[in-house]
Structure 1
Amino acid sequence: MSEAITHLKVPVDREERDGCLGPDGSVAHVTRVLRMISGRWKLPILFRLFAEPSMRTSQLLRDMPDISQKMLTQHLRELENDGLIARRDFGQQPPRVEYGLTNPGRSLMPILMSAREFSRLHPEKAG
């Protein structure tokens, strides 16, 4: 057992290290994804839109009774700007707008489901 587990260590070589820690490295990309989904209501919104192909703002408000209209609108705009959801305006009166996951949003869902499974397999320790 004298062999080191090298795949768990940060590379020492400058070029290899930049691949992990540099501005276009793994850490930067994972940090970007975590920023995209951070926010109290972003994950509940994403999971609801994963369960339903499209939802109106009023449906989301009913499903998440503790969220305010302002916070819902803010998180929907941020998710839309990050390309995870799409807003569809029907141009009707009264206004009719629906939200749904984009292809990048759908491709993120297996990762979120894996995170859920990780959490189930590794419960919090008391204390």
Structure 2
Amino acid sequence: MLETSTHNKVPMDAQARTACIGPDGSAAHVARMIAMISGRWKLPILFRLFAEPSMRTLQLKRDIPGVSQKMLTQHLRELEDDRLIVRTDHDEQPPRVEYSLSEGGRKLMPVLMAARLFSEQHRP
């Protein structure tokens, strides 16, 4: 049986410890996911797109009070780069662009809902 630190429950074996806190370990993957959703407007965008299957930029701007067009566009691009949302350009005049959750974004939603539940149950 491996010795463990009683405080952190992190395996003391070097190989097992790397799997937890190494450069490609569990902590690194969770930190990368948190970086993907970091930003004042990313969570509201994701939750709106979870509620509606497809939305245009103007609809998102109306539904998210206080967001500027610049910040909305920036966060939409970042979420698209991280493959959490999909941008669909309908190639029409006037231009019509819609956003929806990608498969990865849909897989992330149960994690965000669990985080919401955790927050509700762990109020200070």
Matching of residue 82 in structure 1 with residue 69 in structure 2 = no
Preserved contact between residue 5 and residue 12 of structure 2 (Cα < 8 Å): no
Q: Which one-letter code corresponds to 1:70 in the other structure? A: K
CA shift, 1:11, in A, is 1.6
Superposition TM-score, scaled by structure 1 size: 0.91
Q: How does 1:47-86 map to 2 (within 5 A)?
A: 47-86=47-86
- The letter for the 1-side match of 2:104 is P
* Cα deviations by residue, 1:70-118 (Å, 9 ceiling, x for unpaired): 0000000000000000000000111100000001100000000000000
Residue ranges of structure 1 left out of the alignment (5+ in a row): none
| SS, match of residue 86 in structure 1 | strand
Please tell me the residue identity of whatever aligns with 1:52.
Answer: E
Distance in structure 2 (CA, Å) of the matches to 1:38 and 1:65: 18
SS for the counterpart of 1:83 is: coil
Query: By how many angstroms is 1:23 displaced?
Result: 1.1
Runs of 4 or more above 6 Å deviation: none
Aligned to 2:16: 16
Task: Structure 2: give runs of 5+ residues left out of the alignment.
Answer: none
Q: Percent identity?
A: 68
Supply the RMSD in Å over aligned alpha carbons. Answer: 1.6
CA distance in 2, matches of 1:81, 1:121: 33
What amino acid is the match of 2:60? L
Q: Answer yes or no: is the 8 Å Cα contact 2:20–2:26 preserved in 1.
A: yes
Query: Is 1:25 paired with 2:28?
Result: no
Q: C-alpha offsets along residues 9-64 of structure 1, whole Å, 9 cap, x if unaligned? A: 12211101100011110011000000000000000000000000000000001001
| CA–CA distance in structure 2, aligned partners of residues 30 and 114 of structure 1 | 14
- Which whole-Å CA distance do the structure 2 matches of 1:26 and 1:6 have between them? 19
| 2:113 maps to amino acid | M
Question: What CA distance in whole angstroms lies between the structure 1 residues aligned with 2:14 and 2:65?
Answer: 50
